[in-house]
């Protein structure tokens, strides 16, 4: 029944302005005939994510996922009762009395929180976290809307994504889904992402659908924002064979992938759509994050991300590549990893904590935690265990998140897969440092004699502890 649908794939929004945020999806026309076969059309995706097993643990109850998009239809039968209608940051772009189209946003929301309809909810779209709720935050227009060009060029709307992120956090969102992409970043977006992560919110964004290498000989597809910011889970799209889809961007910002071809979802007015894109893949990952947050609400973003990467399937040779990141997301495995990570806590004082919205320097690695993985936010690592700088020009979160040109190996022209442990020897430095150590030892012996003379005159003073390091320590756990 699904194959009977006309497969003329069209680009939903392909604006050219650098500041524009556009949906990262391609959609085929709607088909009411899908109704009786919707769940069957989702079967492969549900199986790939291992959702039946994951749902034995949780279905996302109590979690709010903000969908920063074109708006969500709150009365679609597969979403009814699960949509919180939030602020419209595009207000004024469309002429008065023109209703929002809300196709792309409804589609993404259904992949996250669709609960189906009919007896037992067995018909219609089922989302990854069907008992979660979505907060609709409108930050983009679709290209069929009359205000699309004005929205694209009007400076009033330059920072709508940053405003949407802060609004979602303040409204209590646990997860922020951004199935949108644009070419350039802004400082306000960077700051908003840092604010969200500091509040424990996990941000997930589309890696983009440009596919071809970017001009300039970098060897990578273009970076898309907000996905390429540190602290954001950048999601690529996988095809039916769980390889990188031809349209999916590849670069060191990619953290992991999810199915992104022939994905069936809901549209406004009880329609059903099928499409492809990193948008759909992003929504699926956001759903998995919602499951993790439902079961482990206090797990910090870095450990949620680590659970995603550690639980991924189809892991590339060497553990990481720029096509699929650390592999394809799997809900059941990620929940199991999250349960293990929840037994540990991070302790840090503010002066040493990493700013998640700052590009990481080379060689800033991740500390190992007691479970044998790498703690993504230990030391300067961020990106769910994607740290481990090699000292070869690789950022500590290579494969996690980066800004344009800030990650990857400058010598190899390709991101170095982040290793679990790196040991490097430099004989000349060892010799020099050995000599310095001998001199320092002699000086120390001389100092001991001087100190002994002064000790009798000095008053005993208890030093105040000042050193705090981020580290993984066993907690009470589960």
Active site residues: 69, 104, 279
Q: Pick from 339, 392, 389, 349: which is nearest to 367 by CA? A: 389
Helix (H) or strand (E) holding 54: helix 51-54
Q: Which residues pair with 117 in a beta bridge?
A: 123
Whose tokens are 């009007």? That residue is: 154
Give the separation between CA 385 and CA 398, rounded to whole angstroms.
10
| Helix/strand/coil for 328 | strand
Residue with tokens 């976290």: 129
Task: Name the token pair of 267.
Answer: 């549209």
Tokens of 331: 């809900």
Tokens 């004699």 -> residue: 449
3-state secondary structure of 113: helix
Q: Which residue has the tokens 């001998």?
A: 438
Question: CA-CA distance, 180 to 12, in Å (whole number)?
Answer: 11
- Asked whether 274 and 233 are in contact (CB, 8 A), the reply is no
Please return the burial class of 304, using the count of CB atoms within 10 Å of its CB with bins 0-12, 13-18 and 19+: buried
Cβ atoms within 10 Å of 433's Cβ, excluding its own: 10
3-state secondary structure of 194: helix
Q: Could you tell me the CA-to-CA distances from 321 to 116, 380, 402 in Å, in that order?
A: 36, 21, 15
Instruction: Give the pair of three-digit tokens for residue 465.
Output: 């502890």
Helix (H, G, I), strand (E, B) or coil at 153: helix
Q: Write the CB contacts of 105 (distance below 8 Å, at least 6 apart in sequence).
A: 67, 69, 70, 71, 72, 136, 138
Is the bond into 226 cis (omega within 30 degrees of 0)? yes
Q: How far is residue 335's CA from residue 311's CA, in Å, rounded to a whole number?
A: 8
Residues 6+ positions from 194 with CB-CB distance below 8 Å = 231, 355, 356, 357, 358
- Give the whole-angstrom CA distance, residue 353 versus residue 64: 27
Residue 313, judged by CB atoms within 10 A of its CB (0-12, 13-18, 19+), counts as middle
């Amino acid at each position: 029944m699904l194959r009977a649908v006309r497969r003329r794939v069209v680009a939903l929004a392909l604006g050219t302005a650098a500041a524009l945020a556009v949906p990262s999806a391609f959609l085929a026309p709607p088909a009411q005939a899908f109704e009786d076969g919707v769940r069957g059309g989702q079967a492969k995706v549900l199986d790939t994510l291992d959702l039946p097993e994951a749902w034995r643990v949780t279905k996302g109850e109590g979690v709010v996922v903000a969908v920063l998009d074109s708006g969500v239809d709150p009365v679609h039968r597969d979403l009814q009762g699960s949509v919180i209608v939030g602020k419209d940051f595009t207000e004024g772009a469309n002429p008065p009395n023109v209703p929002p189209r809300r196709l792309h946003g409804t589609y993404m929301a259904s992949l996250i929180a669709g609960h189906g309809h009919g007896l037992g909810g067995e018909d219609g779209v089922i989302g990854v976290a069907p008992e979660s709720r979505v907060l609709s935050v409108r930050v983009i227009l679709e290209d069929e809307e009359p205000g699309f060009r004005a929205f694209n060029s009007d400076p009033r709307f330059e920072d709508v994504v940053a405003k949407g992120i802060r609004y979602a956090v303040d409204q209590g969102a646990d997860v922020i889904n951004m199935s949108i992409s644009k070419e350039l970043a802004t400082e306000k977006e960077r700051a908003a992402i840092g604010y969200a992560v500091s509040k424990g919110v996990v941000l997930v964004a589309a890696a983009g659908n440009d596919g071809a290498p970017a001009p300039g000989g970098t060897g990578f597809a273009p970076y898309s924002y907000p996905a390429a910011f540190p602290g954001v889970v950048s999601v690529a799209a996988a095809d039916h064979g769980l390889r990188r889809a031809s349209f999916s961007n590849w670069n060191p910002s990619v953290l992991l992938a999810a199915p992104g071809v022939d994905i069936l979802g809901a549209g406004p007015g009880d329609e059903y759509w099928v499409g492809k894109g990193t948008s759909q893949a992003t929504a699926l990952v956001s759903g998995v994050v919602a499951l993790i947050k439902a079961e482990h609400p206090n797990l910090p973003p870095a450990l949620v991300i680590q659970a995603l990467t550690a639980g991924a399937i189809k892991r590339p040779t060497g553990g990481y590549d720029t096509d699929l990141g650390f592999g394809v997301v799997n809900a059941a495995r990620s929940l199991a990893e999250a349960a293990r990570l929840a037994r540990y806590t991070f302790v840090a004082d503010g002066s040493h904590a990493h700013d998640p919205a700052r590009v990481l320097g080379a060689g800033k690695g991740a500390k190992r935690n007691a479970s044998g993985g790498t703690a993504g936010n230990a030391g300067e690592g961020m990106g769910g265990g994607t740290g481990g700088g090699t000292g070869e020009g690789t950022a500590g979160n290579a494969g996690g998140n980066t800004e344009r040109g800030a990650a990857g190996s400058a010598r190899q022209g390709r991101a170095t897969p982040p290793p679990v442990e790196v040991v490097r020897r430099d004989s000349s430095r060892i010799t020099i440092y050995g000599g310095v150590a001998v001199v320092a030892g002699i000086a120390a012996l001389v100092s001991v004699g001087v100190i002994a003379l002064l000790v009798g005159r000095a008053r005993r003073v208890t030093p105040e502890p000042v050193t705090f390091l981020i580290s993984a320590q066993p907690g009470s756990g589960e």
